[in-house]
Structure 1
Amino acid sequence: MFVVSLHYKVPLDQVDAHIEGHIAWLKAGYGKGMFLASGRKVPRDGGVILAKGDRAALEDELTRDPFHQHDLAEYTITEFDPVMVADGLEALQG
């Protein structure tokens, strides 16, 4: 499993100009079964995506994000193994 942390490199008005494309890209990632959760950071200086699957496939998918294509955000990928989860979230394990 992966935590993808996005950090905006530009002012929010430039980010917002591409938000519709970013949301469409996120929905496609959910449709592929790759993305499990996503949302804005607080304060709004980026976002977070919880993802599963192969790291190379995830890295490739991130290149399709309009935020990446327009050089609006930096991405940090952290891989982790969820060995403990809350009740109801067992599907997140291995």
Structure 2
Amino acid sequence: MLAENDQLKPGDTVHVGQSAHPNPANYVDADDVIDVAANRGYDDGGEFAEDYPGDISEEAKERLNRFLRAWLRTYCAPSFYTVENERPYVLTAADFAGRQTSEELP
């Protein structure tokens, strides 16, 4: 960061944190799939499909959740990250030791 920003100097405050890749298994669950199926069923069948897909057992939902979690972790790994434990940090002269400014770079 310091090598990319010539305007930062000792005494400036920046924010630091830890990067964390989100768990894609948190993005979709069995209830989401069931809701989509119900909505599409209603789109096709109207009031005749109001109770579609019917009562889905907790066991069936858990089986679908296990499948979705495994599938999402395998095929939908995030290429982005979130920042955790963010906090302000005051830059010191030691942070700049050995830094080359853009004018000094070859």
Fold match by TM threshold 0.5: no
Q: TM-score, normalised by structure 2?
A: 0.21
TM-score (norm 1): 0.22
Larger Rg over CA atoms: 2
Hey, which of these two has a bigger chunk of strand by percent?
A: 1
* Greater relative contact order structure (CA < 8 Å, 6+ sep): 2
